[in-house]
């Protein structure tokens, strides 16, 4: 089920990322810069796109070298302590996540099997560990709904 973003969500995301946001129609954009590292990033949230008669939310990240999209976002986790926001989408037994960092970094974890999110992390190969740990945050959120 698609997440419905509110103005309170945009304010919370801005606070966690230390960035203001601007609106262009339905689009909401956050501009992040890390001068020390020479990084720039634009996070764009399109909460209400219409396609084939269905509503669709879209999270996009633009950098000078990268373009990433998370289609049909089903929720997010914002952490002030970590300085990052994890947007995620769940379809059946797969979860994808797009992490945006206050320091203008981003990571994408795509199509991760659900069983990895509740696995014993000490038994996972290092190549699977980071995706499992990061996306396991979405399990607690889903369980609380």
30 belongs to a structural domain: yes
For residue 143, the model assigns a pLDDT of 40
Q: Which domain holds residue 32?
A: 7-144
116 belongs to a structural domain: yes
For residue 144, the model assigns a pLDDT of 38
133 belongs to a structural domain: yes
* Residue segments in the chain with a per-residue pLDDT below the cut of 50: 143-145
1 belongs to a structural domain: no
State the total domains in the chain: 1
2 belongs to a structural domain: no
Q: What value does the mean pLDDT of the chain take?
A: 90
DSSP secondary structure of the chain: ------HHHHHHHHHHHT--EEEETTEEEEEEEETTTTEEEEEEEEEEEEETTEEEEEEEEE-SS-EEEEES--EEEEETTTTEEEEEEEETTEEEEEEEETTS-EEEEEEEEHHHHTS-GGGS-HHHHHHHHHHHHHHHHHHH-
For residue 145, the model assigns a pLDDT of 39
26 belongs to a structural domain: yes
For residue 1, the model assigns a pLDDT of 58
């Amino acid at each position: 089920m698609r997440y419905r973003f509110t103005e309170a969500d945009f304010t919370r995301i801005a606070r966690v990322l230390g960035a203001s946001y601007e609106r262009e129609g339905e689009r909401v954009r956050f501009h992040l810069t890390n001068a020390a590292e020479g990084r720039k990033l634009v996070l764009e949230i399109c909460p209400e796109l219409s396609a084939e008669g269905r509503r669709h939310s879209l999270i996009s990240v633009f950098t000078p070298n990268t373009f990433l999209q998370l289609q049909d976002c089903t929720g997010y986790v914002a952490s002030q302590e970590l300085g990052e926001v994890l947007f995620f989408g769940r379809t059946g037994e797969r979860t994808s996540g797009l992490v945006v960092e206050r320091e203008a970094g981003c990571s994408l974890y795509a199509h991760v099997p659900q069983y990895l999110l509740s696995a014993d992390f000490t038994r996972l190969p290092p190549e699977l560990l980071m995706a499992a740990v990061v996306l396991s945050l979405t399990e607690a959120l889903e369980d609380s709904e």
